[in-house]
């Protein structure tokens, strides 16, 4: 996750200046931004070294993560960034709906002309078209942009870099759309979730589910049905 965030920083440093310049920075500038983000994350103790790096020191884990972030950044800079002419980069939006007790917020990687939204996704496996079609993050971006601009995005693009540090880096691109009905369904999901949050009534996870363990659940130490007291 830290490597992916570093790659986002490498993309951001290029695309922010490209709004005005219409030209890409050299890869080395993107690489430096990505590497610096990862180093800073480890050095400020933001990152906790866990199961993935069993038997390795934190310094070794940092080096592996830096290398992975640079791999992702290199492929993103070579394949995707030259195609992008952004009008907005890392734009944060917040929308308040009267019937909801919380504000809906989100940060969009890049917006292009014609209300086109782009999002960089990295991971060990290909993102996949079906996941792009069902992505709640993309639906949330659509809700936020429609509410703030009055226009629905015409298209959503996922730029996907697949990197594990063990196999050659691969890329994939996925295009998808959202209808008005799909965005309304996402709003109904938010409304339903908030009712549960406000009530304080949470059903415990099925203990047979693979995520119900300290390795995969971030709430395990506090969960009264897991490791909490």
pLDDT single digits (tens) 73-129: 999 999 999 999 999 999 999 999 988 999 999 999 999 988 899 999 999 999 999
Its domain, for residue 160, covers 2-178
> Has residue 214 been placed in a domain?
no
CATH code of the domain containing 163: 3.90.320
> Has residue 200 been placed in a domain?
no
Q: What is the DSSP letter of 221?
A: G
> Has residue 191 been placed in a domain?
no
The pLDDT of residue 24 is 98
> Has residue 128 been placed in a domain?
yes
Number of domains present in the structure of the chain: 1
Q: What are phi and psi of 122, to 5 degrees?
A: -130, 155
Residue 106 has a CB neighbour count (10 Å cut-off) of: 17
Give start and end residues of each alpha helix (H) in the chain: 2-21, 27-43, 58-75, 129-134, 136-149, 180-199
> Has residue 121 been placed in a domain?
yes
> Has residue 199 been placed in a domain?
no
User: Which tokens go with 37?
Assistant: 């983000």
Query: Which bin fits 140, alpha (ψ -120 to 50), beta or left (φ > 0)?
Result: alpha
Enumerate the β-bridge partners of residue 170: 162
> Has residue 109 been placed in a domain?
yes
How many angstroms separate the Cα of 186 from the Cα of each of 7, 41, 132, 139, 181? 28, 33, 15, 7, 9
**Exposure string for 118-140, b = 16+ CB within 10 A, e = fewer:** bbbbbeeeebeeebbeebeebbb
CA 141 to the chain's CA centroid = 12
> Has residue 68 been placed in a domain?
yes
CA 108 to the chain's CA centroid = 9
pLDDT tens for the chain, 229 residues long, are: 899 999 999 999 999 999 999 999 999 999 999 999 999 999 987 666 666 777 788 889 899 999 999 999 999 999 999 999 999 999 999 999 988 999 999 999 999 988 899 999 999 999 999 999 999 999 999 999 999 999 999 999 999 999 987 888 999 999 999 999 999 999 999 999 999 989 988 788 899 999 999 888 888 888 888 888 7
Q: Of 28, 26, 38, 30, nearest to 67 (Cα)?
A: 38
Enumerate the β-bridge partners of residue 120: 159
pTM attached to this predicted model: 0.86
The C-alpha atoms of residue 112 and residue 118 are separated, in whole angstroms, by: 8
């Amino acid at each position: 996750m830290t490597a992916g965030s570093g790659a986002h920083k490498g993309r951001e440093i290029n695309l922010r200046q490209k709004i005005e310049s219409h030209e890409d920075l050299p890869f080395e500038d993107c690489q430096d931004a990505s590497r610096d983000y990862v180093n800073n994350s480890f050095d400020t103790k933001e990152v906790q070294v866990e199961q993935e790096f069993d038997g390795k020191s934190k310094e070794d884990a940092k080096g592996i993560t830096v290398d992975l972030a640079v791999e992702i950044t290199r492929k993103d800079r070579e394949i995707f960034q030259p195609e992008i002419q952004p009008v907005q980069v890392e734009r944060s939006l917040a929308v308040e709906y009267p019937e909801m007790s919380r504000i809906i917020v989100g940060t969009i990687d890049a917006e292009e002309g014609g209300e086109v939204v782009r999002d960089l996704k990295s991971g060990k496996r290909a993102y996949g078209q079906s996941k792009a079609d069902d992505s709640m993050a993309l639906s949330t971006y659509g809700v936020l942009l429609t509410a703030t601009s009055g226009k629905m995005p015409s298209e959503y693009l996922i730029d996907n870099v697949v990197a594990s540090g063990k196999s050659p880096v691969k890329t994939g691109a996925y295009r998808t759309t959202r209808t008005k009905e799909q965005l309304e369904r996402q709003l109904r999901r938010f409304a339903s979730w908030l009712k549960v949050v406000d009530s304080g009534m949470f059903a415990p996870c099925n203990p047979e589910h693979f995520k119900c363990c300290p390795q995969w659940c971030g709430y395990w130490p506090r969960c009264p049905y897991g490791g909490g007291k």
